[in-house]
Amino acid sequence: MKNILLNISFNGSFFHGWQIQPNAVTVQQTLCDAIKNLTNESVNLIGCSRTDSGVHANSFVCNFKTESTIPPEKFADALNCELPDTVVVKESFEVPESFHARYDCKGKRYVYRILNTKTKSPFFNGLVFHYPYEIDVEKLDRASKDFVGTHDFTAFCAAGSDVADKVRTIRSFQVFRRGDEVVFSVEGDGFLYNMVRIMVGTLLDIGRGKIDQNSIKKIISEKSRDNAGVTVPGEGLYLDEVFYDGVF
């Protein structure tokens, strides 16, 4: 029995998130079907995270156990022949039997992409959030630093989350311009439901003067979702990198 790690990327516009659910096309189900076509095995495919409908991934790690004789490094090419163009396996290799894509994850980096132009672009449909208002990137970058550190992020968690411990550590947060895009890059040890999208929405509300630029620490301390900003759409969000000790 071999434990195979897959490092994948996917266009979330075509999926109702990662996790298998009835009557919906998901990344997990699509991969499981492709693996079964190759190995004739119904595998338990473990993902590093859940992603919502429309959310993308530049790098998403998952693993499964198999008795297949296919060499571990060949699974990438073999699966890419079975998968739609919206999912790509970038690499595959064998990991220790105890490896678990979710529990062994030490951190993640997300990026949120905003197309900051007056009009929409048909070439970015579903891949970025179009935001026509002026963005003071330096102002938002300064404000984003107040998220860095270990805090209770209850105010930045969507209602309906059943996670009891809402303390997370944000290691870095950057806001920068790249041509017509404004990019929000945030790295941490873990994230709550919709946390990145609420943090980005809060920064945008700061940019428009709806929230005071020095109020992030106060919002964190008050632990009320009502005090934070809007939840921006999932289409601009990408899981950019997943971190492990001694795996990559």
Catalytic residues: 52
- Give the CA angle between residues 9, 13, 15 to the nearest 5°: 80
Query: Quick one: how far is CA 36 from the chain centroid?
Result: 26
Contact of 6 with 61, CB cutoff 8 Å: yes
For residue 155, how many other CB atoms are within 10 A of its CB? Answer: 24
Instruction: Spell out the residues 6+ positions from residue 119 whose beta carbon is closer than 8 angstroms to its own.
Output: 132
Q: Is the dihedral of CA 94, 100, 105, 111 positive or negative?
A: positive
SS3 assignment, position 243? strand
For the chain, how far is it from start to end, CA to CA, in angstroms?
21
Instruction: Choose among 78, 10, 6: nearest CA to 47.
Output: 6
Give the integer Cα–Cα distance in Å for 186 and 148: 9
DSSP E strands in the chain: the ranges are 2-10, 46-47, 56-66, 87-95, 107-115, 129-130, 149-152, 167-178, 181-188, 237-243
